Amino acid sequence: MKVKLQTKSGLFDFDVRADETVLAAGLRQGITLPYECATGTCGTCRGRVMEGDARMAWPDAPGAARLKTERGDCLLCQTYVSSDAVVRVPSDTVHRNGDARPLPDHGRGELTGIRRLTDDVMHFGLVLEHPVRFDAGQFVTMRVPGIAGARAYSMVNYDGETDRMDFVVKRKPGGKFCDWLFEDAAPGAEIGFFGPLGAATFHPEEQRDILCIAGGSGIAGIMSILDHATEIDHFAGHRGDVFFGVRTLADCFYLDELSDFAARSGENLRITVALSHEDAGRDRHPDFPLIRLDTGFVHDAAARAMEGRYGNPLGYVAGPPPMVDAAIRLLISQGKVPTSDIRYDKFG
Amino acid sequence: MSWRRICDAGSVAENQLKKFEVDGIPVIVANYGEGFRAFPPICPHMEEPLAESGLIEGKVLTCTKHLWQWDLRTKEMAGSETERPMHFYDVKEEDGAIHAYIEEEHVYDFDEEDEMDDDDFFNQ
């Protein structure tokens, strides 16, 4: 089937399959449709179906709350068509001809390496049917047979072109995907994904210091950035400051990996774990002396450590919404970081 | 009488913003250091409550949710993300108090405005 897309910058035609969203169809064919979360929560990928048969898989998605559905408005990330269609998007759109960024596509992988990191945090990998390329900091949306909807997870690893992607999940009450992963998932289970997506990415050619503030499983994309940056020795010439917030020392994870990044990167990479619900009692991790410790919320730890030494960094922020908000305030007010240098996924 | 007394000038510190209600109309007073501004309490982007999401730094108001910005000196849009202007009520400082000229509550046309109208798509 065909979608005729009307945008403020012109007309585009692209193919769409019955089993993919209009958003996925456009993005994989190089059309820069607007999106942020790609899973129904943010409302960025607003469009209007002018002609054709279309349905929204999740009509009550939080991002759909302000849509004029009686006029055909939809979220492209939830919209499937069953005929040729004409769709409008109220923004500028272009066709990415030959740009170097990885193009998203549908893929499949087999579940592997499921490993519990703490009481409520799980690591898992996907061995991919076909290798993919992604930028450090990107995410994919995932589907599991029998569970409705898609979830977005950031890759933890970075490897240029790779046949493996790693992820981390924090269990939330009532989360069906989490429940499945923590209780029923078995190695070899097949998972479908779409990606890579997201623009909170690291590009070494920008030649910038980086400042990362993450809470809980928000560390995922930061791990990928550190993986890439460490691999190419980025911290030989640039500073990296990483603040990772968890509740208690027992809730920390990825300490082996973080410690390894610190060991390979030297003085220019400083990694601090902030404990919000426990007194750290010391300034270094008892088992990982390269990891600094602080007590309090992660943005407060960042404020203490960064006072007077911001320089001109790119800021990367990921985590629970209140933490993301506090970190962005810190970067703007204390750090004087221009908003164009703050990178985060606007999932809310 | 559309000049309405909102608050004491001293009740909003520099680089702070505070929500008030005057005659049933919610209004935010922002102190950007060189003066005051008054505007409706929601972001014209996605109706974020600016009393919580608003931040003033360097004379610029940022809605921290999606980084839309407005220059409080010029009232113009600022930054790279902003797509809609902020509505500002006229303000004056008199007898140590902030007054705003509010005929009626300004409500953004989230529902009326239709950016998907034909005009926007076929004059290219």
The two tokens of residue A308 are 């007077």
The pLDDT tens digits of the residues spanning B31-63 come to 999 999 999 999 998 889 999 999 999 999 999
B3-104 maps to CATH 2.102.10.10: yes
Report the distance separating Cα B7 and Cα B36, nearest Å: 11
pLDDT greater at residue B21 or residue A147: B21
Is the pTM for the entire model greater than 0.90? yes
From B27's Cα to the closest Cα of chain A, the distance in A is 22
User: What pLDDT, on the 0 to 100 scale, is given for residue B119?
Assistant: 64
Mean pLDDT, to the nearest integer, of A274-302? Answer: 97
Please tell me whether residue A39 adopts helix, strand or coil conformation.
coil
pLDDT at A347: 80
What average pLDDT does range A195-220 have in this prediction? 97
For residue B114, CA distances in Å to A146, A194, A278, B76, B110 come to 38, 31, 51, 22, 8
Residue of B85, B55, B101 whose CA lies nearest to A325: B55
Mutate to test the interface with A, among B67, B108, B113 (most CBs of A within 10 A): B67
In this structure, are residues A219 and A318 in contact, taking their beta carbons and an 8 Å threshold?
yes
pLDDT of residue B1: 62
Same fold, A2-89 and A105-197: no
Residues comprising chain A, all counted: 348
> What's CA B39's distance to the chain center, in Å?
3
Q: How far apart are the first and last CA of chain B?
A: 46
Q: Are A106 and A194 spatial neighbours (Cβ–Cβ below 8 Å)?
A: yes
> Residue A210: is its pLDDT beyond 80?
yes
Which tens digit of pLDDT belongs to each residue from A256-265? 999 999 999 9
The two three-digit tokens of residue B7, written as one number:
């608050």
- Distance set, CA A97 to CA A30, A31, A139, B12, B98 (Å): 7, 9, 22, 51, 54
A167 bridge partner residues? A124
- State how far residue A129 is from chain B, nearest Cα, in angstroms: 36
Closest chain B CA to residue A43: B46
Q: What is the pLDDT of residue B124?
A: 44
Q: Which amino acid is at B76?
A: E
Contact criterion met (CB below 8 Å) for B103 and B3: no
The answer, yes or no, to whether the previous bond of A196 is cis (omega within 30 of 0) is yes
CB contact at 8 A, A132 and A165:
yes
pLDDT of the residue at B113: 53
Local confidence band at A233 (pLDDT 50, 70, 90 cut-offs): very high
- The architecture of the domain spanning A204-343 is 3-Layer(aba) Sandwich (3.40)
Contacts of B116 in chain A (CB under 8 A): 48, 71, 73, 88, 90
From B86's Cα to the closest Cα of chain A, the distance in A is 18
The CATH number assigned to the domain with range A2-89 reads 3.10.20.30
Sort out which chain B residues have CB atoms less than 8 A from A63's CB and list them: none
Q: How distant is the alpha carbon of residue A343 from its chain centre?
A: 11
Domain ranges of chain A: 2-89, 105-197, 204-343
pLDDT value at residue A92: 83
Mean per-residue pLDDT over chain A, rounded: 95
Domain A105-197 is in which class?
A: mainly beta
* In the predicted structure, residue B123 carries a pLDDT above the cut 60: no
Count helices and strands (H / E) in chain B: 2, 10
pLDDT at A234: 98
d(CA A316, CA A307): 17
